[in-house]
Chains A and B, each alone.
Chain A
Amino acid sequence: MENDIKPIFEMDTRSIKAIKIFLDTDTLYSGRLVLKSIQNQYKVFHFQHGGLDRLCKVFDVWHSCVTLLSSSPELNTRHYDICTPNGEAINLQIPRRDKVDSQVWRNLFDGQGRLVKKTQFKEAVFFAGIVEEMRKEVWKFLLEYYPYDSTFEQRQELKLQRTKIYKSINDKRQGISGEEQKTFYRKVECIVDKDVVRTDRSSQYYAGADNPHVQTLRRILLNYAIDNPVVGYTQGMSDLLAPLLVIMDNEIDAYWCFIGLMEKSVFLNTPQNDMEEQLGLLRELLRTMLPHFYAHCMKFLNGMELLFCHRWLLLCFRREVGEYQAQRIWEAAWSQHHTSYFHLFLCAAAISVYGDTVIEKDLSPDLTLLHFTSIQEMDGNLLLRRAHELLYDFLVQDIIPCTLMKILSDSGEWDSPPTPTIYC
């Protein structure tokens, strides 16, 4: 059965700013339809075999939603403005979405098992999250173990192949000897051994003496280090892996999801290089979105090092919020809805929620660090909500500094990235 109609592009009509139609002079039925988003992104549809005239007729009578702003017969263009039913100008609103449950999930796929409704999927994960029992399946896509456009069959094939590869990595590790083995022990194994026994031991999954899951955690980390010798093992990786293993409850799946997670994290080169870049972007984001906090930090000699954010960035709030809230925060960040730098918005959110005292009491950088590390547990849901708000506020900024262009570079299915006015 090939009756599935695959949407080639989906968007919320409330986030369209304008529609322009350019008709070809020779046919008057063919031409281009251009959608402009509220963030000034463009999407162009080419109508090469007619049909645009009929679309114009639809728009012309759709007064409740569209007003014809200008029509230029000599240029063959029509320009529509989008408005709310009562004619007010529109604002970019944080949409309400349903959690990804088994029904929502099934509806995202075509008959062959390709995840075709990507935008809908990412929005749902970003705004509403995934129901607990579906995470095992859905995270494999978010962490790029399974490609979105893979079919059922291809995924079965992939799983077999990845299982084989993992086993060969595991064999390779157990086969090393002599100098190589000694170096590996000194540089990786004994550190991993020290860390796995003190990772998430309060979590039910890892609790108790001789818990076999601790050994699984260990094997995955060692195998990762063997197969990625440049990255090896860095402290903090065990914190990132532990929740994946809880969700997957399968060594091989957890390994391949961990590979995907590492691609998205700030460990890949050296923590220092990545960290500097992340901190640079975060400073600019704070300057734009939280100018009072930024001004406060500027008063101190080392205020811009933002020491209190380092762990937030390295572990994406794993230590700051509860286990389940961390899962929710992570999947929102992985969905890469509008930005691949959502973790920076989470940092800004934490400052926005918990940072008032810092300004009120005029805390120095070291006391600021003490203030943030003394918070027993942050409210993950509140952080996420504030981060959503900050992102949406940021997206509709008319002017952003050029230093922040990078965090908007994810143009998704649009033909152009958002184009707010940039100043340097």
Chain B
Amino acid sequence: MDEVHTTKVVLLGRTGSGKTSLIVRYISSVFSENVKPTIGAAFSKKTVQLIHGEERKQVVLAIWDTAGDERYESMAPLYYRNSSAAIICFDLADRQSYNKVDFWVKELVEKVEQNCKLYICGTKTDLLAEYGGPLKRAVGPTEVMAYAKKLNAKFVETSSKSNYGIDDLFKLVAADFAGFTLCEAPPIEDSLRLQEPNQTDVNEKSSCCF
């Protein structure tokens, strides 16, 4: 029998940064425009199978969606308490959205006394010009990576619309939790790179481990 572990993952980030879409894509494999703003909390779960050589593990991800509105910030601890991982989302084409990342990191680290593993997630790559979209990247990957490194966080990019990087992100979260050595598990940056339609900015990305 495989070992089964359950871990709680919470998604945080500014309103409209794509948290709900990310979860809906991962759980239900669909994307819809105009997802309603999240009010209160939502919870869903999915099991990830990890295979590495002879080793097999099952990780149940308990994924919590939260409201991006800071007015609900005082209720947020009810939702992200006991999380072992947090995915902090920002819209890659929206500087203000990125500026809020630090707010949520501080919220999490200061209000919850635990070592929560952090993932910084730039969303909506499909909107960026470099991927054929209409908008300019609002924050360079170098800047985000430097910030992520400082926090000992990992940085990934996703698109819920084109289903890019989503499975890899959650697999990474599960692998980290299960103690699979990251560099031996499929490295996230490599797997992202393989799927990138445009390889021009690959140099800006670092390899797997921070």
Contact = CB atoms under 8 A, between A and B. Distances in A.
Contact of B74 (A197, A201, A272): A272
B137 interface: no
Contacts of A201: 34
A197 B72 contact: no
A370 B72 CA distance: 20
B56 to A, nearest CB: 26
Nearest to B37: A235
Contacts of A191: 15-16, 69
Contacts of B42: 369, 373
Is the contact region of chain A dominated by helix, strand, or loop, or is it mixed?
Answer: helix
A307 B78 contact: yes
A310 B41 contact: yes
Contacts of B16: 191, 194
Contact of B15 (A194, A197, A270, A310): A194
B47 to A, nearest CB: 14
Interface in A259-294: 270-272, 275
Given A194-B15, A235-B15, A305 B43 contact: no
Nearest to B45: A370
A89 interface: no
A369 B37 CA distance: 18
A243 to B, nearest CB: 14
B36 A186 contact: no
B170 interface: no
A305 B34 CA distance: 29
Interface residues of A, number: 32
A236 interface: yes
B182 interface: no
Contacts of B35: 198
Contacts of B67: 235
A190 B44 CA distance: 29
A275 B75 CA distance: 9
Closest 6 CB pairs of A and B: A310-B40, A311-B40, A272-B74, A235-B69, A194-B16, A198-B34
Interface of B: 15-16, 33-45, 62, 67-69, 71-72, 74-75, 78-79, 81, 96
22 contacts: A191-B15, A191-B16, A191-B69, A194-B15, A195-B37, A197-B34, A198-B35, A198-B37, A199-B37, A232-B71, A235-B39, A235-B71, A236-B69, A272-B72, A272-B75, A302-B78, A305-B78, A307-B41, A310-B41, A310-B75, A319-B39, A369-B43
Given A199-B36, A234-B72, A302-B81, 10 more contacts: A194-B16, A195-B15, A197-B34, A198-B37, A232-B71, A236-B69, A271-B75, A305-B78, A315-B39, A370-B43
